[in-house]
Amino acid sequence: MKKIVLLSLTIIVFYAMKAQIKLPGIFTDHMVLQRNVPINIWGTAAAGEQITVQFNKQQKAAKADAQGNWKAILAIEKAGGPYELTVVGKNTITIKDVLVGEVWVCSGQSNMEWILADAKNAATEIAAANYPQIRHIKIARAVDVIPQNDIVSGSQWQVCTPQQASSFSAVGYFFARKISQELQVPVGLINTSWSGTNVETWISKNGFAGNEDFKKIIEAYPTGMPALIEQHKKRMEAVVNIFEGGETNNDTNTALWMKPEYDDSKWKAISPLQLWEEQGLPNFDGNVWYRKTVELTETQAASTTSLQAGMIDDSDSTYVNGIFVGATINKWNAKRKYTLPQGILKKGKNVIAIKVMDNGGGGGLYGDAADFSLQVNGSNFSIADSWKVKVDKTSIQFSVQPNSLPSLLYNAMVHPIIQYGMRGVIWYQGESNADRAHQYQTTFPALIKDWRSQFKQGDFPFYFVQLASFNANNENGFTGSQWAELREAQAKTLYLPNTGMVVTTDIGTANDIHPKNKQDVGLRLALLALKKTYSKNVFAFGPVYKNMEAKNAKVVLYFNETAKGLSIRNDDKILTGFMIAGADKQFKEATAIIKGNTIIVDNATIANPVAVRYAWVDNAAKANLSNSENLPAIPFRTDNWKGLTDDKKYKVE
């Protein structure tokens, strides 16, 4: 009898909970609603339940359908607030401090997710971040194979104050600050971003319709997370076996792996300059050991003072000749430098062993070659060449990652907000697609068209950031550049209506994929919005290549968006960044001079030039063409010769 009573109570509580009106997680105190458009308010309740929505001077009725879903559409509101949003049924929900203004979705990978606390001049910026009409919500990270109706719990709208702003998207904050100052209206930022993610995971399954490259992947799409996890586990086991050092049975006594006498001859060779995801270990989270053998003379061993091991994503414990010399926890973008005790090194063979612990996203050693060295007599002894690696199998995390399959982030982090009114999107992504840059010419436009279809708010503004300068693979105009090809794919996307692109070749950092200068990125995005969306009289574009003409062993280049004229950025004396080639397709550095609104390019050794490239390198920081507004020119090429990524296609990892 007692069991029956308890069961009955459980059923009553279950149905009582089910009857509760519920709003999606995007609705919280301090939220911003989009002005001058009908406002959707939606949620769940008991089937057939009558709901009343009250906001400002409006009151609307709604009724839950058979599945318990309901929606009320409020009439347009002008910018203003604060107001309260009240939803009444069998229970009452009140959302406080609601503003009406401009809402922008901020999305992409790490350079959009990058927080204000890690931006340039962070302490000064945070102290001045007192803009209570700017609001920010970070959508909690989640993946799913099925489009979700709600975000995972934990996301909250925050008011822009020095106490709160440090965790805001830095790019989003600087964008919103300019927009709010110019328009004098509230600005809301919906930050749905995740570091290290490719474009495919942000596109819905419907967005791949008609794309032959993805047809089989979408047709075989798992029906639920358990099936995906099992698929992912099998793929990961196959990949990890390659990195296990060729041994039949994994050596679980990892304490031996730091010892100089340990035999690592079967371990796999790897470059310390790139994350392991870029070297055949995709989507792996767990522990991996790195080992490097260094031969030193007696004098070198006695005079070595410190070890530099680049940056390590996420954490490390570092040993030299089996002796612990230092550790850094969860600082994936911090350079490692450890002081070495006197006498730790010896004449002959010395072994550096680093246990790398990765919790998600990218993993491993990475950075510039100059940051991998021993300090010997005040000089650098390079250790930037090949290292050995082995996976600690006992640490493998088989959790599904955003890049495990297309659509995972769209399903969990975009689909839940598609009914929310907004003005447009700012987007900063592409680094994770650089190795398939040519395919990005298809997938990136597909994302924009897909989101416009899903949000059902017309061809809303979609403004994006072109890749900054970075020594990704140390590629250049002589050998070709994947990053240049990705920038080209981004620029080609401008054929879509109501799009705009910010150029950041002058902003990047050669040895850091995350330039700290997010101020100029946000400002340039804001200039695009002010000009194209809000019809303000501002300059927002750098020079855009138009066409070329070969004349007497020289090439004349013509441009649009020259403002009051072409110029050399930052008062440099010489125009740089141009390369020129004849029919043999062999590029050489070119002399370039400005003549009016044209540029004359030549190289004395090329009698009949046929092609010119500008800023066609990974790190294009030295390319300095701009206009009178000091806005950098879009990198370009005049040829259509085959690139490094033309044949690279997406594959499930």
* Whole-number Cα distances in Å, 183 to 180, 186, 518, 534: 5, 9, 21, 9
Using alpha carbons, select from 15, 72, 86 the residue that is nearest to residue 46: 15
SS3 228: helix
SS3 16: helix
| Low-confidence winner among 1-5, 30-34, 544-548, 568-572 (lowest mean pLDDT) | 1-5
- Amino acid identity of 242? I
Confidence at residue 245, expressed as pLDDT on a 0 to 100 scale = 57
SS3 44: strand
- How does pLDDT run across 312-352, given as a tens digit for each residue? 998 999 999 999 999 999 888 789 999 999 999 999 999 99
Using alpha carbons, select from 24, 17, 250 the residue that is nearest to residue 140: 24
Total residue length of the chain: 653
The DSSP element (H or E) to which 42 belongs, if any, is strand 39-44
CB 196 within 8 A of CB 432: yes
Percentage of the chain beyond pLDDT 90 is 81
- How does pLDDT run across 75-112, given as a tens digit for each residue? 999 999 999 999 999 999 999 999 999 999 999 999 99
Confidence at residue 18, expressed as pLDDT on a 0 to 100 scale = 52
**For the chain, what is the largest distance between any 2 Cα atoms, rounded to a whole number of angstroms?**
102
**Where in the chain are the domains?**
253-395, 544-633
| Low-confidence winner among 241-245, 317-321, 413-417, 547-551 (lowest mean pLDDT) | 241-245
Q: Which residues pair with 599 in a beta bridge?
A: 557, 594
Residue 294's contacts (CB-CB under 8 Å, 6 or more residues apart) are 349, 350, 351, 352, 374, 381, 383
Q: How far apart are CA 435 and CA 198, in angstroms?
A: 11
Q: How far apart are CA 593 and CA 572, in angstroms?
A: 12
Q: HEC string of 405-449? A: CCCHHHHHHHHHHCCCCCCEEEEECCHHHHHHHHHHHHHHHHHHH
CB 190 within 8 A of CB 417: yes
SS3 611: strand
Place of tokens 């441009």: 559
Confidence at residue 247, expressed as pLDDT on a 0 to 100 scale = 54
* pLDDT at residue 3 greater than cutoff 80: no
Q: How far apart are CA 543 and CA 563, in angstroms?
A: 8
Confidence at residue 631, expressed as pLDDT on a 0 to 100 scale = 95
| Low-confidence winner among 9-23, 27-41, 428-442, 610-624 (lowest mean pLDDT) | 9-23
pTM value?
A: 0.85
- How does pLDDT run across 551-588, given as a tens digit for each residue? 989 999 999 999 999 999 887 889 999 999 999 999 99
CB 182 within 8 A of CB 536: yes
Confidence at residue 254, expressed as pLDDT on a 0 to 100 scale = 86
**pLDDT category of residue 479 using cuts at 50, 70 and 90:** confident
* pLDDT at residue 2 greater than cutoff 80: no
Confidence at residue 151, expressed as pLDDT on a 0 to 100 scale = 97
Confidence at residue 444, expressed as pLDDT on a 0 to 100 scale = 98
* pLDDT at residue 12 greater than cutoff 70: no
Confidence at residue 114, expressed as pLDDT on a 0 to 100 scale = 96
- How does pLDDT run across 431-468, given as a tens digit for each residue? 999 999 999 999 999 999 999 999 999 999 999 999 99
Q: Which fold has domain 253-395?
A: Jelly Rolls (2.60.120)
Buried b (16+ CB within 10 A) or exposed e, 282-313: bbbbbbbbbbbebebeeebbebbeebbbbbbb
**pLDDT category of residue 250 using cuts at 50, 70 and 90:** low
Q: Which residues pair with 612 in a beta bridge?
A: 580
Chain centroid, CA 342 distance in Å? 42
SS3 141: coil
Confidence at residue 19, expressed as pLDDT on a 0 to 100 scale = 65
SS3 29: coil
Using alpha carbons, select from 543, 524, 531 the residue that is nearest to residue 615: 543
Q: How far apart are CA 143 and CA 407, in angstroms?
A: 9
Q: How far apart are CA 534 and CA 106, in angstroms?
A: 18
Percentage of the chain beyond pLDDT 70 is 95
* Tokens read off for 14: 């279950």
Confidence at residue 653, expressed as pLDDT on a 0 to 100 scale = 64
Q: How far apart are CA 160 and CA 166, in angstroms?
A: 9
Mean pLDDT (whole number) for 493-499: 98
Place of tokens 């994994």: 250
**pLDDT category of residue 393 using cuts at 50, 70 and 90:** confident
